[in-house]
């Protein structure tokens, strides 16, 4: 931690800050500069709560050098983590994983049709929502446990492992009893009770980045799960909220190579939610893979125009098959067989 | 709902969209314009899910005219709601309410000292966190039920009603058994299971706006609680996330008069979290009241430099008393006795 | 400047960075921490360009302690600047200044009518655009020199000094020959050639904050003008661009007290452009004054529904008079006679 | 244009709005809905200024259907534009163009060394700044005309056409006399006098997207140049400003396929400014090409650690050569020879 003092801060103020630092058990190292003095904090083992310091007289700014996460950091775990899910492996050095399926499970016919088709086209895992977070209370909220059962059925028939969202700590056990991977949605990225609960289970978690989460907050959210004892976390960039409304969200693809520098966890991309427009999904799926993503999540629906949610961003079965052909053509460039 | 077609959209595409609208049970009203045709949707009673339409050939854009909320709208409930809390009334036509206290309950001495001081200075309610959402897992997470008990003690001694945060559906009953008002924090504004649970209780809820929630999403979140049967919702603007980092968040004060146009619910402001800097809090508290807020939430700590969280944005007891003097001087301008 | 090294950075990397710092003429002060080493840079007299350092092996982050501005900083000029404009004074300790008038000068009748009315209601200065920046080329772009002449006429008749926008370095002389204060619009806040030109004149400049300018960039833009020799700069917060679209921009009112801490320059607020909605302007104008603004800019139009630009955010003459009554009632609270 | 009325708007208010529309020369088409009435505006030939309408009693919202641009729209010009620059062609169906060079021209040796190296590695054009916009006035501002001469020299020696920034209308002639393509920087995207001047010349313009420009504003800025008579505009996405500070800006790659839908103009990407970190540039350059960009701009410097600006985001000569090898390997996937 570094405390930057005002230009006018006097000797007394600098001493008072130094004393406060030492009261916290650290060492204070004043660095006089041309315009102002800064005071380094030495001896801390991790992130320091700055509340005792930030508002002392003469303090202009407090700058954190340590991060609010450690277990997820590549600094402390240089080797990339590979998460294993019933035969599928996702992470460093592995062939990128394609996770596809409808936004919501709607009925048996729909999910089976979707599952068979994405399997046939080459998908590695099936996605589909049984619990659906929706902006307003007057729209379709998912089939709940019935949906989980249909997902399990589709998984059994196709052999595809299943990823599906869990929205509250109560339901973690239930969802875990049906799904192979539990997804935390963007709106719940900082639902800390949910994260803590997911730290106690032994199934992989796919953690989506919050709409306005910084990279640091995203990694700190993953830290909750790892701190609880569950190391099988897959990160997922799904677009952030910005001033731009031409797309549903703004896909922040640059975080893919950056997360690979900062963390050992696998990072995937969801271009369907990020763009919100079917016509943009194939370009961005391929771009994500070339940017280094360990996998992509794609919404695919047998009849998007009849979908109960997010039809506009869902690929058709044919559209998905075409994209898979393209992705296969891209594989050699990425270092894997077509 | 209005569907805007591409400039090049042909007659067939326009007909196909019209047919899809009618299949949904609505009437399609094409409006040919100079550059392109738009198609109005008539006959809907509320928000229409656009998934079936948004991606049909020739469709450029879908524009929603109805809102994803109705119960919270002033359109359907012109009279302002006044929420009653053990003797305190908050809302239209009432004297603005001052809610003050520490960020977190830390121990008996701290909370009693704070409660007595804010009471003496003229506060109407006591705030304090027992369950604390924190970015990373390695910092103080609150005293939990022990904190609730201390809040109840402070309330009993001072007569101030208490508002405190609830973070998960499980804990709604527990928190409701101690608190007068249950607060939903910014990170949980779209924790829909929590909102649904709060719809079933008969205690007021203070709903904070999410870090990146639009006004429409904020009101739609309140709609969840009203739709569940609990009409006693107090809204709270606490700053949004923007590119600006000079303040902790960006206080979006213009939503105060705007929410008063759009909704009948009381709207309060939390300048402590919004600015994150003690020196800015008094100015913004007074500005909030002049902008029309029905109340303000203020962090006050007997010894901010020793606070376990958010010390930098907490007023001292003296600072709070000075601000209260100022607010009293402002009251006649707002139409209330000093 | 502080250079934060990676956790894994070795001794050699730390030495290489230290050497690079010393090559630049500064002193390097390594600060070993629990998790990583940081290196302080001593001896710089101002902002240091970090390009030579930022990308050396082992460097994680470069943190600037000095600011890219100095002349505008209160650190170096503790006394608040008061800008004098033909009898009007704006700045610290002065009665807040009300600047009112139409968005654009449209014709003689309109500007005279507006000028007389705002004068009668108590305005201190007249605003009105002769050169208008517009998003697209197919809308009204202002009366140009003809508009300047009409402004001068209105000024002569009412005695109100005039503020009007200048869009390019070429026109600085022309605009300065008619106007009392030259305005730099939000879109031109980083038009550095324009700022440099304005540094060479001896008339006050009203500098609007850019749509996505940080406070630091805003102050650095003012620094260009002061560095050129013109110290009479008035800052103006006019809303920033965020994800929220319910208002035209997001009025960032917290910067008012913050700028007063960081800089000695006067700070004003334009609630008309910030909110884009007439009904919100009075609340936010009063809030701005209570937050400490040295003045407010208000769009007022004799017939807003016929305005060639920004009619929706313009107050009517009656609306402005009502607001002025309110502002007068507020003055005693602010320490000035009603 | 569509005017959405309040739920409570009465017959009189609807009639008043209809009358105002007809006074503007258009036809009003009221569309009664379940909750509220909307009024369509028919007969307009393009974008309608809504100021006369937006604030009439009973109006809730005004929705624009027409766009503030027309000449740049693919609606009116279905065939993709190919811009020709001394032997290089950029646009639809052409091999993606690689534009490389230092951020700023610093001296003869530097620019010649860079030009030769990027040419040898396979670049198609040379970039380099002679006029540099900088946040604060106390940093290197470019060599100006001397820099233009050095660029021309490097161009002559290597045969690479040159793109360089122009910052003010005055300098358009000067820069055009040396450069093959004139660049408008992000900060000047809405410097309308500059855009107008560029409309009058007969050299291609590379227009960078503003830091907080929506897609609509970006295209409307290009419209200024086309409206002036210059159709040779190349668009460039270079990152937008968001809440995320882990990268310099947020590269909004999804606009690449979206701009290709909306406009016929070529679209390029600048991953160097977007990310601000050398280590992220290669991934994002390749991702941009796979997303469909017609070209990429890359900062390359012989000695980044000595660069006078933006060293941290500049590739080394070796780094650039390695990236070019990768790009060549990617070409067959994009449909071009390696």
Q: In a 10 Å sphere around its CB, with 0-12 CB exposed, 13-18 middle and 19+ buried, how is residue C13 labelled?
A: middle
User: pLDDT band at A63, cuts 50/70/90?
Assistant: confident
User: pLDDT band at D47, cuts 50/70/90?
Assistant: low
Chain C residue with minimum CA distance to B277:
C258
Between D59 and B193, residue with greater pLDDT:
B193
Mean pLDDT within D273-299 = 97
* Cross-strand pairs, C61: C4
Say what the pLDDT of residue A47 is: 66
DSSP A191-202: -HHHHHHHHTSS
Across the interface, whether the CB atoms of C133 and D306 are under 8 A apart is answered: no
In 10 A of CB C170, how many CB atoms?
A: 16
- Name the superfamily (CATH) of residues A2-63: Phospho-2-dehydro-3-deoxyheptonate aldolase; domain 1 (3.30.70.1140)
C173 contacts D263 by C-beta, under 8 angstroms? no
Cβ contacts of D324 within 8 Å, gap of 6 or more: D98, D121, D122, D123
Taking only the tens place, the pLDDT of each residue in B282-322 is 999 999 999 999 999 999 999 887 777 777 789 999 999 99
**Statement: residue A131 has pLDDT above 90:** yes
In 10 A of CB B46, how many CB atoms?
A: 14
Say what the pLDDT of residue A71 is: 92
Q: In a 10 Å sphere around its CB, with 0-12 CB exposed, 13-18 middle and 19+ buried, how is residue A18 labelled?
A: middle
A111 contacts A102 by C-beta, under 8 angstroms? yes
Contacts A334 to D, Cβ<8 Å: none
Say what the pLDDT of residue D24 is: 82
Integer distance in angstroms from the first to the last C-alpha of chain C?
49
Taking only the tens place, the pLDDT of each residue in D100-117 is 999 999 999 999 999 999
A270 contacts A236 by C-beta, under 8 angstroms? yes
Say what the pLDDT of residue B6 is: 81
Q: How far apart are CA B293 and CA A190, in angstroms?
A: 28
Cβ contacts of B24 within 8 Å, gap of 6 or more: B48, B52
Between D304 and C243, residue with greater pLDDT:
C243
Across the interface, whether the CB atoms of B31 and D46 are under 8 A apart is answered: no
Is residue A313 less than 8 Å (CB to CB) from chain D?
Answer: no
Mean pLDDT within A276-284 = 95
Is residue D108 less than 8 Å (CB to CB) from chain B?
Answer: no
Say what the pLDDT of residue D27 is: 81
**Statement: residue B31 has pLDDT above 80:** no
Across the interface, whether the CB atoms of C307 and D50 are under 8 A apart is answered: no
Contacts A313 to B, Cβ<8 Å: 55
Mean pLDDT within D189-200 = 96
Taking only the tens place, the pLDDT of each residue in B36-49 is 788 878 777 666 77
Say what the pLDDT of residue D66 is: 72
**Statement: residue A46 has pLDDT above 80:** no
Q: Which residues of chain A form CATH 3.20.20.70?
A: 74-334
Calculate how close chain B gets to C274, using CA atoms only, in Å: 9
> What does the angle CA B87 – CA B90 – CA B91 come to, to the nearest 5 degrees?
145
Taking only the tens place, the pLDDT of each residue in B234-270 is 999 999 999 999 999 999 999 999 999 999 999 999 9
**Statement: residue D130 has pLDDT above 70:** yes
Closest partner CB to A252 (pick from D216, D244, D279)? D244
Taking only the tens place, the pLDDT of each residue in C268-280 is 999 999 999 999 9
Instruction: Return the top range by mean pLDDT from A75-79, A122-126, B10-14, C22-26.
Output: A122-126
Cβ contacts of D87 within 8 Å, gap of 6 or more: D161
Q: Which residues of chain A form CATH 3.30.70.1140?
A: 2-63
Q: Which partners does chain C have (≥3 C-beta pairs < 8 Å)?
A: A, B, D
C117-129: b (≥16 Cβ within 10 Å) or e? bbbebebbbbbbb
ipTM of the complex: 0.89
User: pLDDT band at A34, cuts 50/70/90?
Assistant: low
Between D291 and D67, residue with greater pLDDT:
D291
**Statement: residue A50 has pLDDT above 90:** no
D74-334: CATH number? 3.20.20.70
Q: Which partners does chain A have (≥3 C-beta pairs < 8 Å)?
A: B, C, D
């Amino acid at each position: 931690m570094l405390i930057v003092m005002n230009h006018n801060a006097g000797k007394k103020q600098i001493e008072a800050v130094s004393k406060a630092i030492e009261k916290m058990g650290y060492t204070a190292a004043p660095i006089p500069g041309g315009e102002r003095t800064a005071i380094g904090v030495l001896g801390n083992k991790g992130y320091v709560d700055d509340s005792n310091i930030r508002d002392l007289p003469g303090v202009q700014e407090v700058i954190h050098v340590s991060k609010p996460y450690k277990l997820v950091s590549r600094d402390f775990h240089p080797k990339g983590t590979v998460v294993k899910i019933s035969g599928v492996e996702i992470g460093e050095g592995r062939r990128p994983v394609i996770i596809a399926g409808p936004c919501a499970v709607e009925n048996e016919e729909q999910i089976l049709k979707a599952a068979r088709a994405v399997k046939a086209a080459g998908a590695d895992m099936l996605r589909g929502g049984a619990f659906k977070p929706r902006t307003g209370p007057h729209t379709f909220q998912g089939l709940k446990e019935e949906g989980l059962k249909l997902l399990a059925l589709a998984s059994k028939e196709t052999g595809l492992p299943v990823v599906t969202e869990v929205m509250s700590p109560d339901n973690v056990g239930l969802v875990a009893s049906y799904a192979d991977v539990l997804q935390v949605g963007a709106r719940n990225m900082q639902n800390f009770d949910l994260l803590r609960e997911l730290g106690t289970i032994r199934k992989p978690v796919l953690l989506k980045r919050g709409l306005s989460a910084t990279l640091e907050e995203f990694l700190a959210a993953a830290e909750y799960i790892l701190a609880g004892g569950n190391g099988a976390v897959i990160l997922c960039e799904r677009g952030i909220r910005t001033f731009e409304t031409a797309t549903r969200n703004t896909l922040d693809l640059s975080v893919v190579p950056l997360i690979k520098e900062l963390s050992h966890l696998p990072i995937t991309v969801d271009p369907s939610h990020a763009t919100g427009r079917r016509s943009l999904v194939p370009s961005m799926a391929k771009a994500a893979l070339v940017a280094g993503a360990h996998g992509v999540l794609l919404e695919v629906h047998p009849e998007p125009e009849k979908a109960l949610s997010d039809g506009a961003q869902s690929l058709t079965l044919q559209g998905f098959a075409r994209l898979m052909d393209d992705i296969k053509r891209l594989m050699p460039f990425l270092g894997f067989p077509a």
